[in-house]
Amino acid sequence: MLPVAIFRHAPTEGPGYFATFLDAHGIPWELIAVDAGAPLPLDTQAFSGLCLMGGPMSVNDSLPWIEPVCALIREADRRQLPLLGHCLGGQLIAKALGARVEKNPVKEIGWGTILGEQHATARRWLGEFSGRPVSAFHWHGETFSLPAGAERLAGNAHCANQMFALGPHLGLQCHVEMTPEMIAEWCEQWHEETQGVDERIGIQTPETMAAETAERLPEMRRLADQLYSTWSLCLPR
* Mean pLDDT of the region 100-123: 97
Percent of the chain at pLDDT exceeding 90: 95
- The pLDDT value given to residue 201: 81
101-116 and 151-155 as β-strands: parallel, antiparallel, unpaired?
Answer: antiparallel
In sequence order, the β-bridge partners of residue 116 are 154
* Residue pLDDT, tens place only, 158-196: 999 999 999 999 999 999 999 999 999 999 999 888 887
- The pLDDT value given to residue 193: 83
Query: CB of 117 within 8 A of CB of 154?
Result: yes
Q: For residue 12, give the nearest of 186, 136, 142 by alpha carbon.
A: 186
Rounded-to-integer distance, Cα 44 and Cα 202, Å = 37
Rounded-to-integer distance, Cα 167 and Cα 89, Å = 17
* Residue pLDDT, tens place only, 25-46: 999 999 999 999 999 999 999 9
* Residue pLDDT, tens place only, 188-218: 999 888 887 766 788 999 999 999 999 999 9
- The contacts of residue 225 (CB under 8 Å, 6+ apart) are 21
Rounded-to-integer distance, Cα 168 and Cα 19, Å = 19
The top-level CATH class assigned to 4-232 is alpha beta
CA of 164: how far to CAs of 110, 153, 209, in Å? 21, 5, 26
Rounded-to-integer distance, Cα 23 and Cα 180, Å = 19
SS3 category, 34: helix
